[in-house]
Amino acid sequence: MRALLALLLVTPALAFGWGFDGHRKLASLMQDPLPSNSCLKAWLASKQTFNLQDSACDPDRWRYMSAGANYDPDEWPRHYLEIDWIQPIDSYPRRYEDVVAKVGATNAQRNGRVPWRVEELYAALVEAFRAKDEAKILTQVFIFSHYVTDSFSLLHDTKNFDPGGLHSRWESDMLNSTANLNGLAAAAKGYYGTSGKADPRNNIFDVVRVGNGVLPQLLAVDQTAYLPDGGYDLAVLYSGSKDLTARRWGDALTLLSSMVWSAWAEAGAPELSGFSGSCSRAVPSVDPVLVGFPPPGGFTHPDAGSSSGTGGGSGASGGGAPGGGAAASGGGADASGGGTASSSGGGQGGGTTDAPSGCGCQSGPVAGLFAALALLARRRRS
């Protein structure tokens, strides 16, 4: 116990994950890539508050609970997909029941569930928009932002999730500086792509595939930050990985805005409070375009129109936007789309016996305790 307490003294206050500040910042920018005259963009911007931005960290808070209304022992795997447990990674099944059939229920869960979690919460967001329950929409959308942006962390896309303690250094420690955080957010704007019609589960699979391939770039930068005396220079990590991280943030915000826009469209593009007569009610009709680290050849839709079979998929149809308003400045159309897709592609081997990865935006000693325990348990099994 004494050794564990000593470990906690050096556990960063922002224990793993994008950190409180990272998730808040990403949530605060979720509307920015939308077309400039979009009604939805203006509505989201007008609703931004610190408390809502802070709620984007709630999924990580839930991971550290042992009781209570939000306690769920299955929360951990919803934040990642260690896609490289099955090789080649492109063969990782996109239907969850196919993953279970391939590697077993335990390994399927431990490998991660973020694509299916995003799909599940997308469906819930569609229903909130359909009900025009603005309080529920806002609750859902900020929680939703957490899982979407987690999938853009390179260390959430691999079984090599914490090499030498890099997870906390890259996702949290280097962003503890306000200057670093703001600098990264500003750089990310240069990598906003074009928001479009989302396909939640398939989009997240493509994001994870790309992230797994980019990971070696981050690992190479990490090695340059070690000092001859055994210390570590976070400034070197930040400067060396800033562009890489900004690319992933820009892509994350492009896809997050696309998913929110698509959920609104699938719900029938409802009129929300404050929509003006001059803003655009246009809805997305084509795939989002990412420019930071785009999927080669664009997003894939292996068997578009079918659900994942997990009970969390969205429908394949959606309502059109009502008349009125100017045309969107890009990516919009007059008919709504929506729906998700899935794949039952095969794979080879796979499955992890490790505990869930320790990453999140929870702060404080209790968070540090659980994060440290999770990582120690995982290392013992690896």
Check residue 361 and give its pLDDT.
53
Higher-scoring residue by pLDDT: 311, 135: 135
Q: Is the pLDDT of residue 342 over 90?
A: no
Question: Which token pair is 37?
Answer: 């005259």
Q: Tokens at residue 256, please?
A: 């997050």
- For the ranges 67-76, 158-167, 205-214, the lowest mean pLDDT is seen at 67-76
Kindly indicate the confidence band of residue 222, based on its pLDDT and cuts at 50, 70 and 90. Answer: very high
Interaxial angle between packed helices 134-150 and 39-47, expressed in degrees from 0 to 180 and rounded to the nearest 10: 90
Q: Which of 299-303, 328-332, 359-363 shows the lowest per-residue confidence on average (mean pLDDT)? A: 328-332
Least confident of 1-10, 200-209, 237-246, 337-346: 337-346
Q: How confident is the model at residue 374 (pLDDT cuts 50, 70, 90)?
A: very low
Mutual angle of helices 19-28 and 178-189, in 10-degree steps: 30
Structure tokens at 340: 């998700």
C-alpha 328/C-alpha 281 separation (Å) is 8
The average confidence (pLDDT) of the chain is 82
Domain 21-350: state its class: mainly alpha
> In this structure, how many other beta carbons lie within 10 angstroms of the beta carbon of residue 366?
12
The token pair at 348 is: 């080879």
Cα-based angle 291, 161, 343 (whole degrees, multiple of 5) = 60
> Which 3-state string (H, E, C) describes the chain?
CHHHHHHHHHCCCECCCCHHHHHHHHHHCCCCCCCCCEHHHHHHHHHCCHHHHHHCCHHHHHHCCCCCCCCCCCCHHHHCECHHHCCCHHHCCCCHHHHHHHHCHHHHHHHECHHHHHHHHHHHHHHHHHHCCHHHHHHHHHHHHHHHHHCCCHHHCCCCCCHHHHHHHHHCHHHCCHHHHHHHHHHHHCCCCECCCCCHHHHHHHHHHHHHHHHHHHHHHHHHCECCCCCECHHHHHHHHHHHHHHHHHHHHHHHHHHHHHHHHHCCCCCCCCCCCCCECCEECCCCECCCCCCCCCCCCCCCCCCCCCCCCCCCCCCCCCCCCCCCCCCEECCCCCCCCCCCCCCCCCCCCCCCCCCCCCECHHHHHHHHHHHHHHHHHC
Amino acid 308: pLDDT: 58
pLDDT at 349 over 70: no
Of 141, 170, 164, residue with least CA distance to 55: 141
Neighbours of 372 (CB within 10 A): 19
222 neighbors 237 (Cβ within 8 angstroms):
yes
Task: Give the lowest-confidence range in 57-66, 69-78, 196-205, 299-308.
Answer: 299-308
- Give the domain ranges of the chain: 21-350
pLDDT class of 11 with cuts at 50, 70, 90: very low
- Mean pLDDT within 210-231: 98
324-338 pLDDT tens trace: 333 333 444 433 333
| pLDDT tens figures, 183-202 | 999 999 999 999 999 999 99
pLDDT band at 364 (very low <50, low <70, confident <90, very high): very low
Q: Region 93-122: what's the mean pLDDT? A: 98
* Better-scored residue on pLDDT, 9 or 82: 82
Question: What pLDDT sits at residue 306?
Answer: 56
Average pLDDT of the segment spanning 208-226: 99
- Which residue is listed with tokens 């609703």? 47
State pLDDT tens for residues 230-253. 999 999 999 999 999 999 999 999
Confidence tier at 69 by pLDDT (50, 70, 90): confident
Once rounded to an integer, what is the mean pLDDT over residues 41-67? 93
* Helix-helix angle 234-266:134-150, to 10 degrees: 140
| In the predicted structure, residue 351 carries a pLDDT above the cut 80 | no
Q: What is the pTM of this model?
A: 0.81
The pLDDT value given to residue 210: 99
